[in-house]
A and B are shown apart, each in its own frame.
Chain A
C-alpha cells in the first residue's frame, strides 16, 4: 500500500506547498500561545489607549478635530503592521531551511505563506478594532474608504518588498531581525503616529517627509477624517519607494537563490 504520486503543474505544486506550509506556520505561530490572536488585536489597542490616556491627562481630547483615540489608532495600525510584516518576512526563508531539501519547496514559498498569514491577520485586526471602536461610540466610517484601503495596500506592498530585501540580508548578517526592531523605536516618533504634520512648523517638514511611513500615516488620516487634509502626503513617493524595494528584493533573491537552499 503506497500513496500514489500524481504529476501536477507547477502552479498546483506551489499551491499545495503553500497550503502545507500555512498549516505548519499557523501551528507554530498561534498554537504555542493560545492567546496569539487575542494579542494581535489587544497590543495595538493597548498602545493606543496608553497614549490616549496621556493626552487626556495633559488636557487634549481631540487632535485636528478628531477624538484622540481614533486619531492614534489610524496611525498606529499601519505603522505596527509595517514592522510586524517586515520582521516576520525577514525570517521566513531562514526558519524553513530544513524543508528546502524537498524539491517542491522553494525559498519563495515560505515567504508567500507568511505574507498571506500577515495580510489576513492585519485585515482582521483592523476590522475588529474599528468595530469595537464603533461599538463604544466613535464614528469609524472612513471619509474615503477606497483611499484608506489603497494606502494600506501600498503599506503592505512596501513592507513585503522591504521584507524580501531583509531575507537576503539575513543570509549575510545574523542580526538583521534585531536591527530592524532597533530602528522601529525612533521611527515611531518620526512617523507621525501621535502627531499630525500640521502641528509641526512648516520649515521643519522637509526633515520629516523623507520617511515614507510618515506619508502612509498622513494619507491614512486624510482618507479617514473629513476634518483633516494632509499638506505633505504623497502617493507618488510611497509607490516609487515600493517599486524600488521590490526591484532590489527580487534581484537579491535571484542572486542568492542557491545560497538560500544551501545547507
Chain B
C-alpha cells in the first residue's frame, strides 16, 4: 500500500497557484504492477516523483512501508561532474551498501558503454545516460520500481535488453510505470491509474484503465 493523506500539489505560476493534484486521500494497493495514464501535463511525472520522494507534496503526505526506488526518468538522477562509476558508488552508499564493487561491475556489464563508464556523465549521450541509469535501478532489490518513460529511448539492442531485464525483475518487484505506449503498459502492468480532475482513479484491471483513458481523453 502507498498511502496518500490529503495530498495537494501546486506549482507557482505568474497567474497564481496552478494545482496538479488537489486533496487526494487514497490507499493505493501495490500487489501488482501499475501503469499511469494521462495526457501531457496531467501530472504523471509529478505523481511518480512524489511517490519516489524526489518531490514533496505542497500539502499532505505520502507514506509507505515498501522499499521504493527513485523515479527512473530521463532527466536528473545522475550528477554530471561525477563519472558513471562514481554515480553508481554514490547511489550504493546512500542506500546503505558498504561494499559497492558488485553493483559497480553489474551496472558496467549492463550498460555496455566501455571506457565511458569512467568518464564524467556530462560527456555522455542521452542514450548512454539512460543505459547507466537503467542498469543502476536494476541493481537493487526494491519492492517497487518507478519508471518514467525511460525504456522508450536508446537503440534497438538496448530496448530489447531493457524489456527483457524488466520482465525478469517483475517476478519479485512491482513496477509503477509512466508510458505513452499502450502496448508497453499492457505488457508490464496488471492494473492502472488514470489521472483526471486533479485526482486519480485506480482500476484493478489495466484494460478498464485504458478504456477510461480513451473515453476521457482520446477524441478523434
Contact = CB atoms under 8 A, between A and B. Distances in A.
Given A258-B58, A261-B54, A102 B94 contact: yes
A102 B70 contact: yes
Interface extent on A, as a size class? 20 to 34
Contacts of B142: 5
Given A1-B102, A99-B90, A104-B94, 10 more contacts: A2-B106, A2-B138, A3-B141, A8-B96, A16-B95, A100-B54, A102-B91, A103-B68, A261-B56, A263-B75
Contacts of B113: none
B117 to A, nearest CB: 17
Interface in A17-71: 17, 19-20, 23-24, 27-28
By Cβ-Cβ distance, the 10 closest A-B pairs, closest first, are A103-B53, A20-B93, A101-B54, A104-B94, A101-B76, A2-B141, A98-B79, A17-B94, A20-B94, A102-B70
A4 interface: yes
Contacts of B77: 98, 101-102
A158 interface: no
Contact of B70 (A4, A13, A103, A263): A103
Contacts of B96: 5-6, 8, 12-13, 16
Contacts of A27: 86
Interface string B56-88: 101000000001101100011111111000100
A4 B141 contact: yes
B52 interface: yes
A4 B97 CA distance: 8
B97 A3 contact: yes
A7 B103 CA distance: 18
A263 B76 contact: yes
Interface of A: 1-8, 12-13, 16-17, 19-20, 23-24, 27-28, 96, 98-105, 257-258, 261-263
- B49, B78, B81: which has the most chain A beta carbons within 10 Å? B81
A7 B70 contact: no
Contact of A16 (B67, B68, B93, B138): B93
B27 interface: no
A17 B80 CA distance: 18
A98 B95 contact: no
Nearest to B141: A2
B56 A258 contact: yes
Question: Could you tell me the dominant secondary structure of chain B's interface residues?
Answer: loop
A114 to B, nearest CB: 15
B38 interface: no
A168 B96 CA distance: 29
Contact of A3 (B80, B90, B103): B103
Contacts of B102: 1, 3
Question: Could you tell me the dominant secondary structure of chain A's interface residues?
Answer: helix
B55 interface: yes
B24 interface: no
B139 interface: yes
A25 to B, nearest CB: 11
Contacts of B68: 103
Contacts of B71: 101
Contact of A2 (B53, B56, B140): B140
A9 B56 CA distance: 20
9 contacts: A3-B92, A3-B140, A16-B96, A20-B90, A20-B93, A96-B79, A101-B54, A103-B54, A263-B76
B93 A19 contact: yes
B146 to A, nearest CB: 11
B95 A5 contact: yes
Contacts of A1: 102, 106
Contact of B90 (A13, A24, A100): A24
Contacts of B76: 98, 101, 263
Contacts of A20: 89-90, 93-94
A102 B81 CA distance: 17
A8 B96 CA distance: 8
A175 B75 CA distance: 26
Contacts of A104: 94-95
Nearest to A19: B93
A84 to B, nearest CB: 21
A106 to B, nearest CB: 10
A105 to B, nearest CB: 6
A101 B138 contact: no
A261 B92 CA distance: 21
